């Protein structure tokens, strides 16, 4: 067996022996299941109504499920290649292409999930004009930056910038909304904050290591709360 293969296998074995990986898998599994239950639970309502808001809402959770799948895949690669983080992979290692492609997909889908959720509540107030393509462009740009500039400071700045952007959009929209102010904005805001912490956990693992378990539990709590609200309304 070549030496390289042996090192990778050792890395993989130590990864599977790490209790952190088991926690990661359970965490991602719960989020993926919650997201898919929301997606498929609202399928009939969308098929009957063809409502754009329901469509964007469903897509947000489908994209969350895909993003979390790739998030888990990235963590697996980190363990498998026995490395500290994807953005530090040497060009000589076998994982570079796989790691960067997966990271690109993860950042793209996670950004789009947040954008779809934002768009699901904003599309009516934006005079029904289709702005989704702008979000796709923005998500692709963010994904490229994540790969091309492997700096924790840049990742932190991008994600905080996104958070500020979402808060401003929601604040302006709510200010103009005279009645029926939904309490759900608060849950969405929490979801966005914890999602950013999840993204940072992938891109800059050292940054949040101490609070990882709290972030995981809080994220699961938010997804379960949204799932509960969906199932209560959908009735199945």
Q: Return residues touching another protein (CB under 8 A).
A: 42, 44-45, 48-51, 53-54, 56-57, 120-121, 180, 182, 184-185, 229-230, 233-235
- Beta carbon of residue 78, minimum distance to another protein (angstroms, whole number): 35
As a dihedral over the C-alpha atoms of residue 111, residue 92, residue 18, residue 194, rounded to 10 degrees, the angle is -10
Q: Is-contact 233 40, C-beta < 8 A? A: no
Closest alpha carbon to 21 in 97, 65, 73:
73
Q: Coil, helix or strand for 116?
A: helix
Residue 57 or 79 with smaller CB distance to another protein: 57
Residue 92 or 179 with smaller CB distance to another protein: 179
Residue 42 or 146 with smaller CB distance to another protein: 42
Please tell me the total number of residues recorded for the chain in this structure: 236
- Beta carbon of residue 73, minimum distance to another protein (angstroms, whole number): 30
Residue 50 or 210 with smaller CB distance to another protein: 50
Closest alpha carbon to 145 in 178, 90, 108:
108
Token output for 115: 């954008």
Residue 176 or 210 with smaller CB distance to another protein: 176
- Beta carbon of residue 143, minimum distance to another protein (angstroms, whole number): 27
Identify each DSSP E strand in 92-181 by its residue range: none
- Beta carbon of residue 18, minimum distance to another protein (angstroms, whole number): 38
Cβ atoms within 10 Å of 155's Cβ, excluding its own: 23
- Beta carbon of residue 150, minimum distance to another protein (angstroms, whole number): 37
């Amino acid at each position: 067996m070549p030496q390289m293969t042996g090192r990778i296998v050792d890395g993989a074995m130590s990864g599977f022996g790490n209790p952190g990986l088991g926690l990661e898998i359970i965490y991602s599994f719960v989020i993926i299941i919650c997201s898919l239950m929301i997606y498929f639970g609202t399928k009939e309502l969308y098929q009957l109504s063809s409502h754009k808001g329901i469509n964007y809402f469903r897509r947000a959770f489908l994209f969350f499920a895909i993003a979390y799948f790739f998030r888990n895949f990235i963590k697996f690669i980190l363990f498998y290649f026995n490395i500290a983080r994807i953005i530090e992979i040497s060009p000589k290692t076998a994982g570079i292409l796989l790691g960067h492609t997966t990271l690109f997909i993860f950042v793209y889908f996670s950004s789009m999930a947040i954008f779809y959720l934002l768009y699901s509540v904003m599309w009516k107030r934006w005079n029904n004009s289709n702005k989704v393509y702008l979000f796709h462009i923005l998500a692709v740009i963010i994904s490229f930056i994540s790969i091309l500039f492997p700096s924790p400071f840049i990742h932190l700045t991008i994600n905080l910038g996104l958070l500020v952007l979402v808060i401003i959009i929601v604040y302006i929209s709510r200010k103009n909304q005279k009645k029926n102010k939904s309490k759900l904005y608060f849950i969405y805001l929490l979801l966005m904050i914890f999602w950013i912490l999840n993204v940072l956990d992938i891109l800059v693992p050292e940054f949040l290591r101490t609070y990882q378990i709290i972030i995981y539990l809080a994220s699961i709590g938010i997804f379960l709360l949204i799932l509960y609200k969906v199932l209560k309304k959908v009735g199945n």
